[in-house]
Structure 1
Amino acid sequence: MKLNSIYKAAALSTLLLCSSLQAKTVYVATTAIVEHPALDAVRDGIKAVLNENGYTDENLKFTYESAQGQPAIAAQIARKMVGDEPDVIVAIATPSAQAAVSASKNIPVVFSAVTDPVGAKLVPSLTKPGSNVTGLSDMVNVKQHLALIKEFLPNLKSVGVPYNPGEANSVSIVTALKAAASEMGIEIIESAAPKSSDVMIATKQLIGKVDAIYCPTDNTIISAFESVVKVGIDSQTPVFAADTGSVERGAVAAVGYDYGDLGRQTGDLVIRILKGEKPGMIDVKMAEGTDLFVNTKMAARMGVTVPEAVLARATKVIK
């Protein structure tokens, strides 16, 4: 009888321990430099993957804070998150990632939607980055983007690029864009927009100097993208983008990633860390998958015709 009681006590203890482990709340703190459809889709994709892997409202604390486009606020958010001691910090876009990596020395940081993680000094290398940091890069194929614009405008000579020179990701894209354009005989003309309120003025300064406008994955520009579209319509200068979400907001076309899917790819990295892997031993992931979106209505409003070859391979046509 005594032995039986011991077995029962041991079984009860094991059951209570399992229940305790199952009840343990996992805390994932998420932040982004600004709210716009692409970055919001990343956040939602991350949470969807967490839910699918058993982290639900019952055992998951998932927070989100936007820096409203201000690097100083991003730094404040990062410091606060470190003080709250989450299991993982997820930082979306380069400025928020830089703030999180600077603030956190021990808490795992997973970045997402960062164009050039090495150039932004988030990690020393993409392979086994070491420390407490890993993440996902959304480096775009700028040569492919220029080739798409040239399909619309065979005599393309110049492309205007509004961008925020304070965003490391944007600087990397513009540098890559210039190199690719040089090989193709295209001139890149830049126009600086350090703040969202500068976007319309920066875009207007390009009119009369360029054949088309190209908007990189620059969070300042994308947050005020409707301003770029208005200038494009008013001046009959076609606007192209590096992300497909901007086509739904008025760009003529884009070859880019589905940012909801990028969020899911980021979520997979978070799951690996929650299961015990060290972030520094996880290679930085390069975003996978591209789509071609075309907006025929905006093409007409900006004075260009969508080539049949582009329509034929488009994954989504917005009319």
Structure 2
Amino acid sequence: MIKRPVAPAVARRDFIRLAGATAAGFLALGATSDRIRIVASITSLSLDDELTRRSMTESATTRLGGLIAGLRQRGWVEGVNFHFELRSSFGGPDKMKAAVAELIDLRPDVILTGSTVETAAIIAATKTIPIVFATSNDPVGNGFVQSLAHPGGNVTGFTSSTPEMGGKWLQLIKEAVPDIQRVGVLFNPASTPRAGRYYLDSLEQEAASSGVAVVQAPISTPAEIDGAIGRFAESPKAAMISLVDSFLVVNRQAITATAAKYRVPMIYPFHYFIDAGGLMSYGPTLEVRSADYVDLILRGTKAGDLPVQSPRKYELLINRTVADSLGLKIPFTLLARADEIRE
């Protein structure tokens, strides 16, 4: 027997409120009423994680909330003509395997994935159920799609960065901390694109031209965070870069706290880290566009016929209070370019 729902009761009520409408309403919006569709999603975060709870209660400002709100605008009302199913892969390989199996057993009409790791696991489990990845950094290199313009198969979605981001992160952190002689690169080889090489090539190229030494800091367990960051508190002067990595997002609180503990300046790829007390971030502006593709697929469009889309805008966030605590005076030229300055 299929177990439903998994999401916390309060969050699910908020989701239904967010979707809110009547059967007459969805018919007026043009959605088909022949049967209840199933939209499924998998996340690497725990269902108790703050980001997961926020996604379940906010609208256009979060990925899942924006999806539900966007589907409602297109005539799909949760609990009326479709059901939303969320599973978490948090907890290790066995949990991942179980979460994937549960979603496949639901026989959903479309599956929305949140990270490269989850996307790979779902693709390995089905070649027929349509898959939309909300974020993927190297979908061609990972074998998810044949090309960005013509994905083919049962998969499409949205990329969240490019290989050149590695060099850009180094430029920004060096501008914030001009006297660094080395930069540590934090990542988990198992969950970052191409085991880190996707970004390291451009990062190392930029480092060579700016006279900064690149020191890789790979980790695979939360217990390794302290040691990986702590060694950059010693001379010569260093800063750090966090790569795009679902493992690091899950452990963002521990990472930002450890960076503060050792007074190590670090730049991150997502605003989630700034929310957790990080110094600065540079990455794609959150645009919840997955509802467009999920709607088209529910109406019969093949996932492989929909081109993979890239970010349309990037944003720079700086926390000046954190900078002050680290004894940094962020140059005005950098502050002037920030999309948001937090105090």
Q: TM-score, normalization: structure 2? A: 0.79
Q: Deviations over 1:51-92 (max 9, x none)?
A: 221211221201111111534422332222122111001111
Q: Could you tell me how far apart the structure 2 residues matched to 1:48 and 1:197 are? A: 38
Identity rate of aligned residues, in percent? Answer: 24
Distance in 2 of aligned mates of 1:20 and 1:136? 24
Change (3 A) 1:44 1:200: farther
Query: Within 5 Å, which residues of 2 pair with 1:60-209?
Result: 60-68=82-90, 70-140=92-162, 141-169=165-193, 171=196, 172-208=198-234
1:308 and 2:319 matched: no
Secondary structure at the residue paired with 1:143? helix
Q: Deviations over 1:188-212 (max 9, x none)?
A: 2111211234323322233326511
Tell which deviates more after alignment, 290-299 or 113-122: 113-122
Provide the secondary structure at the position in 2 that maps to 1:47.
Answer: helix
Match for 1:206: what amino acid? F
- Name the structure 2 match of 1:10: none
1:109 shift after superposition: 0.7
User: Are the structure 2 counterparts of residues 20 and 255 from structure 1 closer, same or farther at C-alpha, using a change threshold of 3 Å?
Assistant: closer
Q: Which has the higher contact order (CA 8 A, sep 6+)?
A: 1
Question: Which one-letter code corresponds to 2:279 in the other structure?
Answer: V
Find the aligned partners of 2:297 and 2:252 in 1 and give their Cα distance. 35
Q: What residue identity is the alignment partner of 1:56?
A: V
Equivalence for 1:33: 44
User: Partners of 2:73 and 2:132 in 1: how far apart?
Assistant: 19
1:250 aligns with 2:272: no
1:5 aligns to what? Answer: none
> Matches of 2:281 and 2:98 in 1, distance apart?
34
| Pair 1:151–1:20, CA change in 2 (3 A) | closer
CA distance in 2, matches of 1:51, 1:203: 44
Q: Using the alignment, how far apart are the partners of 2:290 and 2:210 within structure 1?
A: 34
Q: Deviations over 1:239-270 (max 9, x none)?
A: 211112212212211221233x2xx1222222
Partner of 2:239: 212
Any idea what SS the aligned residue of 1:292 has?
A: strand
1:21–1:218 distance in 2 versus 1, CA, 3 Å: closer
Cα distance, 1:297 vs. partner? 0.7
Q: Secondary structure at the match of 1:251?
A: coil
Name structure 2 gaps, 5 residues minimum: 1-29, 56-61
Whether 2:260 is the aligned partner of 1:233: answer yes
Cα distance between partner residues in 2 of 1:246 and 1:316: 14
CA distance in 2, matches of 1:126, 1:108: 16
Q: CA 1:269/1:204 → structure 2, altered by over 3 Å: closer, same or farther?
A: same
Aligned-pair distance for 1:316? 1.4
Structure 1: segments with no counterpart, 5+ residues = 1-18
Which structure shows the bigger proportion of residues in helix conformation? 1
> By how many angstroms is 1:311 displaced?
1.9
Mean CA deviation greater in 194-203 or 129-138: 194-203
Query: Once structures 1 and 2 are overlaid, which stretch shifts more, 283-292 or 20-29?
Result: 20-29
* 1:45 alignment partner in structure 2: 66
* Post-superposition offset of 1:154: 2.1
